[in-house]
Structures are given as structure tokens and as C-alpha cells.
A and B are shown apart, each in its own frame.
Chain A
Amino acid sequence: MKKYISLLAISLFVCIGVSKAQIYADTKDYTYTRSTENLFLIDYSMGFPSGDISDFVSPTSFRGFTMEFRHMTSKKFSIGLSAGFQSFYEEFGETDVMVNNGTLHGETYHYLYSVPIYANAHFYTSGEGKFRLFFGCGVGTIFNDRDTMVGSVSMSDKTWQFAVAPEVGFLIQANDYMGLQVRGTYDMAFETNDTPAAEYYRLHVGFYYNF
């Protein structure tokens, strides 16, 4: 756990440090306007399990959302915080599940409730214009609640896992106040002593607001 906390601290320090450094590089070329200092993003997201987690639950999730705040440190860089929710579900039919050397039999359902929380930094390929492509990375944690339900018996495994999330997307400005945003994220929650890694892709579609 200490290792992950240290990694998180270092990653945050690097993200913020890089963004702050860019402020000085960019202020020569661009002038700020009040309307682009901060962004608030909200979106609907779909999740696509990948890697180890797809053994637990594999179908695409259509239940998810993310809210994100970004502070523009310059025209081309931002730092921010994001929090989201993604819910995965799979039905296995009548199945045997091993519990304490015993066998539990019944209709079996797997649920994964995932809450990714990141500090993030983004780079925008252009500082102005209606279309802005961006790349970014989030560093933080994912709270994963893996539930297995067999008949009326429910078993839950809740863990906080260190996570990183590279992403790419674009903003399309609609007016002075808001616009459309589309982005793809690859969420990677690293394994712990007791819990395997959890990885999934998310496709976000939503809006952003300038303020």
C-alpha cells in the first residue's frame, strides 16, 4: 500500500509540475480569456472490460458517467480532478461456485461496480478553435466492488486499487459557454495482494462547460 501511495504522490507531482512549467512557456504566445480558465465536463460512458476483469464480467457496460473539473494552466494545458462510476453485469445461468471447499449451486450473477477517481493533466494540440484534440493521463484510485450472487446468497469483495488512466479525446465548441466532448479512456487498476488487476476501456460522450 505504501508503495502505491508513494507512486501516486510522485505521479501527481510530475503531472502538476509539467503543467505548471508549461504556463511560462505558453504565456508568451497566448492571451487568456475568462471563459476558458476552467472547464466542467459531464458525460455518459460505456465500459468495455479487458484483461483479467473480463474473466469475472465480460459484456459491455452501458451504465456509467463521469464528472470532471479542469483548470487551464495555459491555453494548451490543464490539470484537474475527475470522478466517475461504471457498472458491469453478467448472468451465468445455473452454475457451481466453490465456497470454503463446499459447492454452492444456483443462478449466478456477477456485478462489478467501479468508481474511478483521478487527478489528471491534459495537453491540447491547439489553444484555440472550435475543434481541440487532447491527450491526457489520470492518476489515482479505483474503488471496485465485485459482487457474486448465487441464488439468494451474495458475496462481495470491495477494494481500493491504485490506478492510472491514459486518455485521448476532443472538444467541439458550440458557443461561448459550452460544447461537445468525446473521449476514450483506458482505466488500469493494478493488482493488490488479494485482488487481481482490473482493466477496462471507457468511451465517454457528453458536454463541457466553460466558466
Chain B
Amino acid sequence: MIKRGLYLNFLALIVTIFAFIGCENRGPEYISDYDVVYTNYDTGKQFSEVQTYQLPDTVIYLVPKEDQEDIDHKYDEFLLTAIKENLDALGWQQIPKDQEGTVDADLFITVSALRTTWINQYWYEDWWFWWGNYSGFYPGWGWGSGYYPWYGFPVYYTTYDTGTVFIEMLDPTKNTEEEGQISSVWVGVVNGLLEGSNIKGRIESNIDQAFTQSPYLKSTIQ
């Protein structure tokens, strides 16, 4: 009887300890907690010498060629305006194309965007729990979750979309080794979940952050 009680004690102890240990550490709680901004630059570039820039009137979407026609450009103006405001705040002047369609500016700005769908797949087998992760790029997919009875045991999956905006500053005076290509002297990458009701607000504040964390761009800084 004592031994039986002992084993039950032992089992209860192990279950209690592992239940306690199994509690997840805290981490990101809100959608905006997953936002991230990355910037990098060519340390040899003197940004204090920059006075003019050229900004395109469209955003490049990184999708397969066959999907180019399906792209919705409704966010282009919003993205380009947010970037223009930050460039103007640096004291730089935007140079429009001339009648021949050419432009002579110190820096050429390119803006591109990428949408990525991530799929997390879970399946349950007996009492144990395994998980796998599959990621892929499927432009235009929506968000959702489902429950599929594959292979005789239930599978649960969740998907979520992330959006990435790439902002690059190209310096026409810096040629690369490859003919016909010019160097990027600054890059800003803004990434976040395409979820929630304030996507535009988050993108705008993250674009602002990309310039805020690049104080060397300001003309007054040598």
C-alpha cells in the first residue's frame, strides 16, 4: 500500500513539475510586436553631399511574372508618400523626370514589396504532440485556419501573411563590377504581419522608424 501511494506521489510530482515547466515564456503579445525594421548603409558614402533624389511613381511587387497583371497597386501612393515625406525631411529635393524621361539626381530610390504566406502545421498522434513548419510564397493567399483529418489522425494548421517593403537608395556614381548595375548605398527593410485593423498606420510608423534609426542620412551630420 505504501509503495502504491509512493508511485502515485511520484507520478503527481512529475506531472506537476512538467505542467509548470511547460508554461511558455512570455513573448510577443500583439500583432505590432512582430514588426521589425532593418537598415544598413555603405559607410563610404557621404550622405551630407546628397541634395537631390528621384522617386518612382510605382512600387515593384516581387511576384512571379505570370502574376504581375493581378497586382493591386492601391497602396503605391500611400507607400511612396510616406517615403517622400521622410526624404524631404532630410533636406533633400525630389527631381522630376524631364521631357525626355531622364533624370539627373544624386540618389535614385527604388521601392519594392513582398507578401509571404507562412503555414504552421500541427498534427496530433495519441497523447504526444509534434509540430512542423512549412513556409512558402503564395501571393494573394488569404488568412485562415482549418482542421483536416489527414492520414487517419487530425491535423491542425494556421496560416499568416507577412508583408515586407524594401526601400533602396542607388548611387549612380558608384558602379558595381557588373556592367549596367549601380550600387545601393542604403537599404531599409520594413516587415510585419498583415493582420489587424491598423496595417497602414504600422507600415507608416515603421517607414518613419527606418529613417529615424539612420541619423547619418541627415545633411547636418558629417
Contact = CB atoms under 8 A, between A and B. Distances in A.
A89 interface: yes
Contact of A105 (B3, B14, B21, B209): B209
B93 interface: no
Taking residues whose C-beta sits less than 8 angstroms from the other chain, chain A's interface range is: 20 to 34
Interface string B35-54: 11111100100000000000
A193 interface: no
Interface string A14-51: 00000000000000000000000000001110000000
A63 interface: yes
Contacts, number: 91
A150 B189 CA distance: 14
Interface string B138-179: 000000000000000000000000100000000000000000
Nearest to A111: B25
A103 B27 contact: no
A152 B191 contact: yes
A64 B39 CA distance: 38
Given A42-B14, A177-B2, A104 B37 contact: yes
B21 A65 contact: yes
Contacts of A178: 6, 9
Given A103-B40, A151-B35, A91 B213 contact: no
A93 to B, nearest CB: 10
Contacts of B14: 42
A177 to B, nearest CB: 5
A85 to B, nearest CB: 7
A104 B36 contact: yes
Contacts of A91: 26
Contacts of B221: none
B124 interface: no
Nearest to A87: B25
A102 B36 contact: no
Contacts of A6: none
Contacts of A109: 27-28
A153 interface: yes
Given A96-B213, A102-B38, A105-B209, A149 B2 contact: no
Contacts of A106: 33-37
Interface string A87-114: 1010100001001111111110101000
Nearest to B25: A89
Given A44-B20, A206-B13, A101 B26 contact: no
A175 B2 contact: yes
B38 A104 contact: yes
Interface string A49-68: 00000000000000111000
Nearest to B10: A209
A63 B36 contact: no
Contacts of B20: 44, 63
Interface string A145-165: 000011111000000000000
Given A107-B33, A175-B2, A177-B3, A85 B38 contact: no
Interface in B179-195: 191-193
A134 interface: no
29 contacts: A42-B14, A44-B20, A63-B20, A64-B21, A65-B18, A87-B25, A89-B26, A102-B40, A105-B38, A105-B209, A106-B33, A106-B35, A107-B32, A107-B35, A109-B27, A149-B28, A151-B33, A151-B36, A151-B37, A151-B191, A151-B192, A152-B34, A152-B192, A153-B191, A175-B2, A176-B2, A177-B2, A206-B13, A207-B9
Interface of A: 42-44, 63-65, 85, 87, 89, 91, 96, 99-107, 109, 111, 149-153, 175-178, 206-207, 209
Given A103-B213, A106-B33, A177-B3, 7 more contacts: A63-B25, A89-B25, A106-B34, A151-B37, A153-B191, A177-B6, A206-B13
